[in-house]
Structures are given as C-alpha cells and as structure tokens.
C-alpha cells in the first residue's frame, strides 16, 4: 500500500512518500504555507499526483505525550485535509522526527523519518 506522510507546519510542510509496496520511505518535497488557500491547493495537487492509499500526518505531542497547542492545530488541519481528500488520514506520533532530520531541520526528511517509523510499525517489524 502506497502511503504519503506529512510533517505539518504552518510555515512549511514536509512531504514524503513510500514505494507502492509501503516498504521504503523517501523525502518528496516541501510545501509552503498550507494553511493558506494557495498552499493548501498545492498540497492537494501533490497528494493527488502521488495517489497514495493513505495519508499519515505527524502529531507533535509534547515530550510527556500530551496534546499541546501545536497538536491541536495539527488535528484541525487533519480534519480539513481529510474532508478535502475524501480518503483516510491518520495521525502518527512525530515527537523525535525533526531531531532525526538533522541539521537545518529538513521538513521533507522529517516526513520520511515519520513515514519510516509508521511503515515499520504497520509491518510489525522491530525498530
């Protein structure tokens, strides 16, 4: 199953995609300002072009696993995205993906780390 992942941010949203088998994740692109109509339309175009069966969005929980302001904003974004796409959109704990992305905080690379962890979990493989 092809899966697309988003590392959501109001300024930049990283996008990553899996191969058709849902085994490997790769960074795809960064979409600017997805809360604005032009950015949201661009994001929808990227998603539709990739034609995933599922979209996964990183949920930025606090280090204690709680829902802070950013998690609430992300959840609202997911509701809007799900309604626009008419397909499943899942939230996935992303607490450490930005750190794993390395210096410069590449949002597409963070999305790929998020997607890799999701794919490993879904396949039942140990991390």
Q: Where do the domains of the chain lie? A: 3-123
Judge if pTM exceeds 0.85. yes
Closest CA to 94 of 121, 76, 125, 126: 121
Q: What pLDDT does 62 receive?
A: 77
Q: 62-110: per-residue pLDDT in tens?
A: 777 788 899 999 999 999 999 999 988 999 988 755 555 555 568 899 9
- What's the pLDDT score for residue 100? 57
pLDDT at 126 over 90: no
Helix 69-85 and helix 37-50: axis angle, to 10°?
Answer: 60
Write out the CATH class of domain 3-123.
alpha beta
- Closest residue by Cα to residue 35 from 11, 53, 57, 15: 11
């Amino acid at each position: 199953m092809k899966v697309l992942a988003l590392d959501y941010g109001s300024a930049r949203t990283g996008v990553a995609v899996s191969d058709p088998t849902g085994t490997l994740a790769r960074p795809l692109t960064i979409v600017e300002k997805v809360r604005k109509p032009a950015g949201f339309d661009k994001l929808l175009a990227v998603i539709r072009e990739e034609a995933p069966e599922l979209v996964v969005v990183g949920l930025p929980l606090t280090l204690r696993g709680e829902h802070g302001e950013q998690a609430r904003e992300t959840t609202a974004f997911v509701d809007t995205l799900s309604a626009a796409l008419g397909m499943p959109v899942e939230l996935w704990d992303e607490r450490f993906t930005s750190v794993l992305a390395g210096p410069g905080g590449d949002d597409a690379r963070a999305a790929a780390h998020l997607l890799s962890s999701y794919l490993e979990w879904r396949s039942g493989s140990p991390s």
